[in-house]
Structure 1
């Protein structure tokens, strides 16, 4: 499994775009990752994974979801082995738009571990983040669900950010903690990382931006700026 340098940046396309537009944005992110020397996670629909993997060289590609079945019988479920074969290096678990029960989260993490796939877990509350941290995902993205999707409700306040980072690190200091809910500009990316988050990310903040391509560059550049400024502290 590929290790991640921090701070990193994460891009989620969700279903805002599809087909050639996903590839276009992936190539932009790929170039920015190289330009700014920042690790970039790219979460894309499963049907786009192989094409993105074959046409980029710097992105860490994650699937947005997987089931836990094994090769054999099963219609329409998302097979973990197929995701990995397509080029996925990891998987998202328990996003608020695709929630899971705690037993399902645990089972999915165990399947990912079998295949040496990175686990990017999401949580809503501090309590849920602490519960999921017990399963030791590689990344935990605690984001209040009311802030997700660019609904105009702002971003996580710094009190929540610091509280949830502390709670997760007390359980497992090796879990990387990201903040992504509601981020719409590079300054917010910078502020979250400087406040202690090991990464920031965006989906609607990029996909619904007036100029998504420029926003990808702005946010990855902000990650680079934060990385440089952290070295001065």
Structure 2
């Protein structure tokens, strides 16, 4: 599996409920297949396994709990993800923060099952600290810019380049994504010019009237 350049988090938006989640996932796969740009999608848990079964691109969970199989009502375990065609999971998104010890447990459990992990961090310092768990990727997303119209690459380009330097100093193999306000091809190009391996975004695609057109614009300058 090639590492995704664009990771689309569906979150809990109404635009990603029911059949709309499947249509959105298929649009992402279509653009990825036609362009050759690797992408991954993160649907809501309710449709996660079903979408993973029909796509030929990486599908990630939006979160997972650090629990083994057994009693744990209402939780999603790494083993559950492994039993489907899901390729990995986001960890510690700013809207789903978890204790640092749990982050380490999740990375360890997922790694043992060959599930990819992308840890989210709010600052370069936190990204550097969490890179010590040796996930597959770290995504830096300043919370104040998430869901807004100003990209982190414009508002604070130093946090992107600083995160890249900090993470690579800990583990050169860890990929670095940036997010928060990323909506255009210029934003994606800027992030990669700053050293990032790709982007993590949500509303710019999920809430768009024409997600396929937005996706094509996003990768137009790679």
Per the shorter chain, which TM-score range? over 0.9
Displacement of 1:10 in angstroms is 1.0
Question: What SS is found at the alignment partner of 1:121?
Answer: strand
Displacement of 1:210 in angstroms is 3.7
Give 1:94's match in structure 2, choosing from 92, 96, 114. Answer: 92
Gaps of 5+ in 2: none
Q: For 1:213 and 1:38, how far apart are their aligned partners in 2?
A: 14
Displacement of 1:153 in angstroms is 4.8
Look up the match of 2:52. Answer: 53
Question: What SS is found at the alignment partner of 1:60?
Answer: coil
Look up the match of 1:163. Answer: 162
Give 1:145's match in structure 2, choosing from 143, 146, 150. Answer: 143
Give deviations 1:99-157, integer Å, cap 9, x for gaps. 0111111111111112110011100012211110111111000111111122x454242
Q: Give the count of matched residue pairs.
A: 218
Q: For 1:36 and 1:46, how far apart are their aligned partners in 2?
A: 27
Alignment map for 1:59-70 (pairs within 5 Å): 59-70=57-68
Residue 87 of structure 2 is aligned to residue 107 of structure 1: no
Residue 90 of structure 2 is aligned to residue 79 of structure 1: no
4+ aligned runs moved over 3 Å, structure 1: none
Displacement of 1:3 in angstroms is 4.4
Task: Return the TM-score normalized by structure 2.
Answer: 0.92
Look up the match of 1:120. Answer: 118
Gaps of 5+ in 1: 227-233
Q: For 2:146 and 2:50, how far apart are their aligned partners in 1?
A: 27
Task: Return the TM-score normalized by structure 1.
Answer: 0.88
* Bigger relative contact order, structure 1 or 2 (CA pairs below 8 A, ≥6 apart): 1
TM-align CA RMSD: 1.5
Give deviations 1:33-89, integer Å, cap 9, x for gaps. 1111111011111221222122221x2110011112222222111122112222211
